[in-house]
Structure 1
Amino acid sequence: MQTVAVPVDHQAVGATGEPRSPSLRLRRLSTELRHSRQAAGYTAAKVAKELGWSHPKVTKMETTESKRIKPEDLDKLMDLYGIDDPERRDCMQALAKDARVRGWWSRYKDAFKNESLPDFETEASTLRTYESQVIPGLLQTPAYAEAIFRGGRYTNPQEIERRAEARMGRRGILTRFNPVHLRAVIDESAFQRLISGREVLAAQLRHLLHMAQMPHIDIQMLPLSKGAHSGLTAPFTILDFPNLLDSSIVCVETLSDALYLEEPDDVELYAATFGDVQASAISAAETAEYITEQISTLESTP
């Protein structure tokens, strides 16, 4: 099984080695700033006037549009809001500092169509993903991933290889200490689609079977015989986080980018949909038997 080693930036992990997501830390800081302003009885316009800033500068800090918040600007806001507790001030400055780090994925800006997914994935505790056409990216082999890119609009061999390498880098969250718990429901068609032929698909299914044996990975197949179900729209992933301050996020990938949904109603709808497709799928044990049969069929067919 081919592996791709991706170096871990020491700035992207905490002092104890726990993974950190710059985007998630910025999201948490922005929420804290908004709540602190409201608790202090200020409008964004009044804050801008008090500090001699523009109104957009204040609002961008509260909506994660400002990717980097200067320490001195954060101090001014905390002074204005009456945040005097040293520990709380240090925590907010730490969030601002974490939001400025660069993770390993920043080295692949040319390969990722969006950097937010590996960013959020690195601090997630659980991923619930539904895939209808192919094996999910986190469970793909290099050869299978390269074949998918070749099947798209990519023709440059170096570009295809780099995109596959970037995708393989995401797999580290499944093999690290305290790995992400992955729950995947995959449509039966993905197990049968001959991506780059029988040999590549068989190798991919063997890898899938190996990953399914890990205690933190649950894989279920959704049979074609189930007919219509609630997931007949588009594949999606729900990211859950260990910190209660970080609400879940839904990622729906598009051809050019990805849509991130954070409103509670949207997240609840997708969570209910995942529950429905999971209930329609066969068990993890039955799925392992199915994969084993598929591998046998692929290897015995000339």
Structure 2
Amino acid sequence: MRREVRLRRQSRAHHPARCLRLWVVLDESALRRVVGCPQIIREQLEFLNRLGAQPHVTVQVVPHSAGAHPGVSGQFSILDFPDAPGAGTVYLERFNSDLYLEKRSDVRHFSAMFDHLQAQALNPERTRCFITRAAEELPAAASLPGRP
């Protein structure tokens, strides 16, 4: 079920005419953690760069050198609705259950956290270079432990 929702949400990111504006701030750890085959990770990083190059999408990375930041406690999404100003929602994806916060004070709190994340992150151009380097630094499959 979650996979289907994510795939549907991902498909919306490719249609600027649908008014979806996506702004993503990632921690460097999300780029460096190798889960699975390095080739697949490399393809995912290249896809992230292509996505970030679209005019309605902004991608930024908070490098390890930025130190602690408001996002270290976990991921969150802020959903704003153009047809309902002031009716934002914060989405917290958790292992056992998801949480939606709709109180204005909660939305303001997480919006302030996101503002701080954006300020600590690399700008979009530097982020694309950073992601490209991360992809290039991935080990070749043959050099992984347990591989011939």
What range describes the TM-score normalised by the shorter chain of this pair? Answer: 0.7 to 0.9
SS of residue matched to 2:137: helix
Matches within 5 A, 1:1-302: 111-112=1-2, 163=3, 165-176=4-15, 177-244=17-84, 247-298=87-138, 302=143
Instruction: Answer whether contact 1:236 1:250 (CA < 8 A) is retained.
Output: yes
Gaps of 5+ in 1: 1-110, 113-162
Output the CA distance in 1 between the equivalents of 2:138 and 2:89: 37
* Partner SS state of residue 251, structure 1: strand
Cα shift at 1:187: 0.1
What is the TM-score normalised by the length of structure 2?
Answer: 0.87
Question: Residue type matched to 1:172 in 2?
Answer: S
Structure 2: segments with no counterpart, 5+ residues: 144-148
Structure 2 counterpart SS, 1:225: helix
The answer to whether the 8 A contact 2:38-2:140 is kept is no
What is the CA–CA distance in structure 2 between the aligned matches of 1:249 and 1:166, rounded to whole Å?
17
AA paired with 1:175? Answer: H
8 Å contact 1:250–1:270 — kept in the other structure? yes
RMSD of Structure 2 on Structure 1 (CA): 1.8
Give the conservation status (yes or no) of the 8 Å contact 1:202–1:299.
no
Q: Report how many residues are paired.
A: 141
Seen in structure 2, the aligned counterparts of structure 1 residues 299 and 215 have a Cα distance that, compared at 3 Å, is: farther
Letter in 1 for 2:95: L
Aligned-partner Cα distance in 1 for 2:139–2:5: 29
Q: 1:271 is aligned with what amino acid?
A: S
Summarize deviations over 1:267-291 as a string: whole Å, max 9, x none: 1000000001110111100000011
Amino-acid identity (%):
33
Greater relative contact order: 1 or 2 (C-alpha under 8 angstroms, separation 6 or more)? 2
Residue 231 (structure 1) shift: 2.3
After TM superposition, the score normalised by the length of structure 1 is 0.44
